[in-house]
Amino acid sequence: MVDFNQRIVAPSVLASDYGQLSAEVERAGKAGADWIHCDIMDGHFVDNISFGPDFVAAVRRATELYLDVHLMVVRPDRYFPRFVEAGADGITVHVESDHDVGDTLKGIRDAGCRPGLCLRPETPFSAVEEYLDAIDLLLVMTVVPGFGGQAFMEAETMPTVAAAREAREARGLSFHIEVDGGIDAVTAPIAAKHGANVLVAETSVFKAPDMAEAISALRA
Ligand code: DX5
Ligand code: ZN
């Protein structure tokens, strides 16, 4: 049984120095990261292009930590197998992408990976409700996806986190609730109070003068 009161910190390598990727991933592990979060952006689903499966495979070679892959792409059904191949432990897809959501989630599980589902800040919780028993993780975006360094959208997204926790309890399910965007020492406790147990952080961790301190501040 997962202890949802125990916070899992998942630094996003989006803000790391790609020229020294393995050292950066190692640095995050030594600083206390629980998972490593990889943000995949295709330039269509979001207005930014990040990196692909070969990059994730390089992250995989640098760490044994749980690899949490977040696909911000138009066709996650088409691309998820390449991320399974690259060594992802969990693959999260957006409910707003152009695919049969149920089929994609099942495909990810059948491939031996943990399926996650994500929703953008403006998407109502009702859009993901029918898939909750098929997922291991629900990712609530706390900024509009695409770029790091944006402000946490508390008013728009905390009701979704709270609704997810309520639905999980009511239905006896056990998926993680993850938040992504604008997470720092001030916003982490707010997200946790509403029910989030996995905290993705890019800027507040990779750009911090002391990464270990920044990670432990997210648990406080
Ligand atoms: C948003 C991505 C992120 C994000 C987090 O498009 O999914 O993981 O860049 O960045 P910070 O922590 O800087 O808000
Ligand atoms: Zn992300």
User: For 86-103, how does the pLDDT look when each residue is reduced to its tens digit (9 = 90+)?
Assistant: 999 999 999 999 999 999
Taking a 5 Å cut-off on Cβ, the residues next to ion ligand 2 are: 39, 70, 180
Task: Choose the catalytic residue: 17, 34, 39, 98.
Answer: 39
Predicted local distance difference test score (pLDDT) of residue 138: 98
**What is the number of the ligand closest to the CA of 181?**
1
- Residues in the chain, total: 220
Q: Which residues of the chain have pLDDT under 50?
A: none
Listed in sequence order, the residues at least 6 apart from 164 whose beta carbon sits closer than 8 Å to its beta carbon are 125, 138, 140, 177, 195
Ligand 1 pocket mutation, candidates 140, 202, 215, criterion most atoms within 8 A of CB: 202
Contact assessment for residue 150 and residue 162, using Cβ atoms and an 8 Å cutoff? no
Kindly state if the Cβ of 39 falls inside 6 Å of ligand 1. yes
- pTM value? 0.98
Express each pLDDT in 129-149 by its tens digit: 999 999 999 999 999 999 999
Cα-based angle 180, 24, 211 (whole degrees, multiple of 5): 65
Q: Which two tokens mark 85?
A: 């191949």
180 is catalytic: yes
Task: Please report where in the chains the tokens 């147990």 appear, as a residue.
Answer: 197
Residue 68 CB–ligand 1 contact under 6 Å:
no
Angle, helices 187-194 vs 211-219, to 10°: value is 30
Residue 172 C-alpha to ligand 1 middle, in angstroms? 30
